[in-house]
Amino acid sequence: MKEPATFTKLLLGWYQDYGRKLPWRETIDPYKIWISEIMLQQTQVNRVKEYFYPNFLKRFPTIQDLAKATWEDVFPCWKGLGYYRRGKNILKAAQIIVQKHDGQFPLNATELQQLPGIGQYTARAILAFAFDKKVPAIDTNITKIIQILWSREKVETMAQTLVYASPSGRDWNNAMMDLATALRNGDDIKGELGQFFPPQIASKFIPTRNIKRTSLNQKSKKKSGKSKKHTIEVGIACIHRNGKYLIQSRPKGKSFEGKWEFPGGKREKGEDFRACVKREILEELGIEVSVRPHFFEEEHEFEKVHLRLRFHRCQIQKGEPQPLEKQKLDWVSPVDFGKVNFLEANEKVLERLMEMKT
């Protein structure tokens, strides 16, 4: 077992030498930190840093300025970020903070989470980065570091132990995020902290890349007398809500009975993948979902079948999921993926989802 206090001490030393310089780290204004956190949920750091963050704050420098605005005012600054519901939520939350809290952000996570669009992670991030509270803003990156070094079962408890060993909640959370970025990029962890991440450990953090696509028009090499493989294409929905993903069990009587998977189904002839996902989810769960472009694609070769799986992140637009095909349903956090008996074909996409913010 690696000593938490030693890890935190070395982590903070490493961060002092190698931490990233980011504009939202140069302020303790909870408004500016909140805006950066919402933007970073959906867009790469460099794009937020160089364009969206400065432009938004130039137009709405204070929470009072934002609270006076309408969505028509906000939209030009949010356009290109996507997830417009999040943009609308920051407008609603700003108005509530100004009207009900005199323009001051609440100082506890429970009150913060009552504001539109602020979940547990964002609430903790505001408390840590703006007010230097010793709370861990646990995302998939921090989760993965803790799971690799300590335990898959007690991420929350270990995160609390680690942050309490730090004199600064702000620095600890920033350091963990920068460490995750370095590991994800395959960088060597320099200094004494490197003892915690020898190559065989650090390699576990490097994201799995998409399997190279094979063109459907490319003719497979076949032995004489062998028929061409049948291609099956499946659109799969990774439906997320409140930091969790919806999963379903394989129905009785079907192969891999008792295993868990993300809902979805076969693409029909002439149907695009996103339309396929919408149709399948309506048929399987009785709900309407918005479907983002796919974030991961995987292909498998079997004796007579070429299988293509395309995974899309989705959000519920209408209805509540129902087991219309007599399957079991559950909501699971990425932290708990390791406790679920998933289909082996989901292994790589689970790694990708662990690296993404919900």
Task: Read off the pLDDT of residues 185-216 as tens digits, 9 standing for 90 and up.
Answer: 888 898 899 988 887 787 777 654 333 333 33
Active-site entry in 37, 280, 284, 351: 37
Helix (H, G, I), strand (E, B) or coil at 9: helix
Confidence of residue 71 (pLDDT cuts 50, 70, 90): very high
**Phi, psi at 99, each rounded to 5°:** -75, -40
Vertex 348: Cα angle to 227 and 153 (nearest 5): 145
Confidence of residue 219 (pLDDT cuts 50, 70, 90): very low
H or E stretch including 59? helix 53-59
Vertex 183: Cα angle to 6 and 173 (nearest 5): 55
Which burial class, exposed, middle or buried, applies to 33 when counting CB atoms under 10 A from its CB (0-12, 13-18, 19+)? Answer: buried
Q: Where are the beta strands (DSSP E) in 168-304?
A: 230-241, 244-249, 260-261, 264-266, 288-291, 296-301
Is it the case that residue 179 has pLDDT exceeding 90?
A: yes
Please give the average per-residue pLDDT across 146-170, as a whole number: 91
Non-local CB neighbours of 25 within 8 Å, separated by 6+ positions:
129, 174
The residue ranking higher by pLDDT, 263 or 343, is 263
Domains identified in the chain and CATH numbers? 4-205 (1.10.340.30), 230-354 (3.90.79.10)
Alpha-carbon span 297 to 213, nearest angstrom: 8
pLDDT of residue 309: 92
pLDDT of residue 177: 94
**Phi, psi at 54, each rounded to 5°:** -65, -40
Please give the average per-residue pLDDT across 2-19, as a whole number: 93
Contact status, residue 295 vs residue 218, Cβ threshold 8 Å? no
pLDDT of residue 338: 81
Q: Among 277, 252, 264, 276, which Cα is nearest to 328's?
A: 252
Structure tokens at 217: 């028009």
Vertex 206: Cα angle to 126 and 45 (nearest 5): 40
Mean pLDDT of the residues in the chain: 87
Q: What percent of the chain has pLDDT over 90?
A: 53
Q: Among 266, 260, 264, which Cα is nearest to 247's?
A: 260
Q: What is the pLDDT of residues 94-109, one digit of tens each?
A: 999 999 999 999 999 9
pLDDT of residue 207: 56
Q: What is the pLDDT of residues 101-144, one digit of tens each?
A: 999 999 999 999 999 888 888 999 999 999 999 999 988 788 88
Contact status, residue 135 vs residue 163, Cβ threshold 8 Å? yes
Alpha-carbon span 296 to 110, nearest angstrom: 34
Q: Does residue 37 carry a catalytic annotation? A: yes
Contact status, residue 256 vs residue 343, Cβ threshold 8 Å? yes
CA atoms within 13 A on the CB side of 166: 27
Structure tokens at 177: 């995020």
Structure tokens at 298: 């995987």
Q: Where are the beta strands (DSSP E) in 133-281?
A: 230-241, 244-249, 260-261, 264-266
The residue ranking higher by pLDDT, 174 or 212, is 174
Q: Among 56, 117, 63, 60, which Cα is nearest to 86's?
A: 117
The single residue listed with the structure tokens 């309490």 is 164
Q: How many residues does the chain have?
A: 358
